[in-house]
Amino acid sequence: MALTMYHYPKCGTCRKAKKWFEDNEVDVNLIHIVEEPPAKETLEELLEKSGLEVRKFFNTSGKKYRELGMKDRVKTDSEEELLDLLASDGMLIKRPIVTDGDQVTVGFNEETFEKKWK
């Protein structure tokens, strides 16, 4: 299955991930995470396959995260409420998210990419 990467073109980490795919000649389908944020159902699936906690899907360095007081909310809101928030605004989502339909990575770590996507 082809890889899909949810990304934000202005994000430096996303640019690094995209360059890694280009350098390693890996085809990847790019989805603009702000223009086309993943639906709640998609996020639930990505979350389950990633094995991560829902709070790991938040872009903690983003302005929106701070504005909404998410630092405290990720500790008290239900997973359902947090997924609703993520689905409502692509800027809240940590990026890039890469998936092949079975595996999921969140963020860019060259070592992880080497193991999962090469």
> How confident is the model over 2-31, as pLDDT tens digits?
899 999 999 999 999 999 999 999 999 999
Give residue 14's domain range: 3-117
Please report the pLDDT score of residue 33 as a whole number: 97
How many domains does the chain fold into? 1
| Confidence (pTM) | 0.95
DSSP 3-state of 95: coil
Q: Which residue, among 45, 61, 51, has the nearest Cα to 95 in the 3D structure? A: 61
pLDDT digits (tens, 9 = 90+) for 48-106: 999 999 999 999 999 999 999 999 999 999 999 999 999 999 999 999 999 999 999 99
Task: Find the helix or strand (DSSP H, E) in which 41 lies.
Answer: helix 40-50
Question: Residue 36: which CATH number?
Answer: 3.40.30.10
